[in-house]
Amino acid sequence: MKFNTKTIHGGQEHDPAFGSVMPPIYQTSTYAQSTPGGHKGYEYSRTHNPTRNALEKSFASIENGKYGLAFGSGLAAIDAVIKLLKPGDEVVSTNDLYGGTYRLFTKIYEDFGIKFHFIGMESASKMESYINNNTKLIWVETPTNPMMNVIDIVSVSEIAKKHDILLAVDNTFATPYLQQPLELGADIVMHSATKYLGGHSDVVMGALVVKDDQLAERLYFIQNASGAVCGPQDSFLVLRGIKTLHVRMQRHCENGRAVAEYLNNHPKIEKVYWPGFKSHPNHNVAKTQMKDFGGMVSFTTKGNNYEEAIRIVENLKVFTLAESLGGVESLAGHPASMTHASIPKEEREKSGVVDSLIRLSVGIEDEDDLINDLKQAIG
Domains defined for the chain, CATH in brackets: 3-242 (3.40.640.10), 245-378 (3.90.1150.10)
pLDDT at 124: 86
pLDDT of residue 352: 87
- Which of 31, 42, 46, 57 is the catalytic position? 46
Say if residues 184 and 289 touch (Cβ distance below 8 Å).
yes
DSSP-derived secondary structure letter, 128: G
Across the range 317-321, mean pLDDT stands at: 98
DSSP labels for 172-205? TTTHHHH--GGGGT-SEEEEETTTTTT-SS----
Residue 299 confidence class, pLDDT cut points 50, 70, 90: very high
Q: Which run of H or of E encompasses 320? A: strand 320-321
Residue 180 Cα to chain centre, angstroms: 12
> pTM for the full model?
0.96
Over 80: is that where the pLDDT of 251 sits?
yes
Q: Give catalytic status of residue 195 as yes or no.
A: yes
Q: Read off the pLDDT of each residue in 266-294 and give the average, rounded to a whole number.
A: 97
Separation in Å, CA 254 to CA 49, 261, 296? 37, 11, 11
The pLDDT, as a whole number, for residue 365 is 98
Q: What is the pLDDT of residue 345?
A: 84
Choose the catalytic residue: 96, 170, 292, 373: 170
Q: How confident is the model at residue 5 (pLDDT cuts 50, 70, 90)?
A: very high
Residue 212 has pLDDT above 80, yes or no: yes
CA distance 2 to 293: 20
pLDDT of 304 higher than 80: no
Q: What is the pLDDT of residues 321-355, one digit of tens each?
A: 999 999 999 999 999 999 888 788 888 888 888 99
pLDDT digits (tens, 9 = 90+) for 102-111: 999 999 999 9
Please give the mean pLDDT across all residues of the chain: 96
Q: pLDDT digits over 133-187, tens only?
A: 999 999 999 999 999 999 999 999 999 999 999 999 999 999 999 999 999 999 9
Task: Please state whether the peptide bond connecting residue 87 to the residue before it is cis, i.e. omega within 30 degrees of 0.
Answer: no
Q: How many Å apart are CA 293 and CA 191, to the nearest integer?
A: 17
pLDDT digits (tens, 9 = 90+) for 54-81: 999 999 999 999 999 999 999 999 999 9
Termini Cα distance of the chain? 48
Handedness of CA 72, 78, 84, 87 (dihedral sign): negative
**Listed range (2-6, 128-132, 236-240, 348-352) with the worst mean pLDDT:** 348-352
At residue 252, does pLDDT exceed 90?
yes
CB 193 within 8 A of CB 74: yes
Please identify which of the residues 26, 67, 98, 196 carries the catalytic annotation: 98
Alpha helix stretches (DSSP H) within 301-355? 306-315, 345-350
- Residue 346 confidence (pLDDT): 81
Catalytic residue among 6, 195, 257, 348: 195
Task: State the pLDDT at residue 37.
Answer: 86
144 neighbors 97 (Cβ within 8 angstroms): yes
How confident is the model over 90-94, as a mean pLDDT?
A: 97
Looking at the chain, how many residues does it have? 379
Cα 223 to chain center, whole Å?
19
Say whether 273 is catalytic. no
Average pLDDT (271-279) is 98
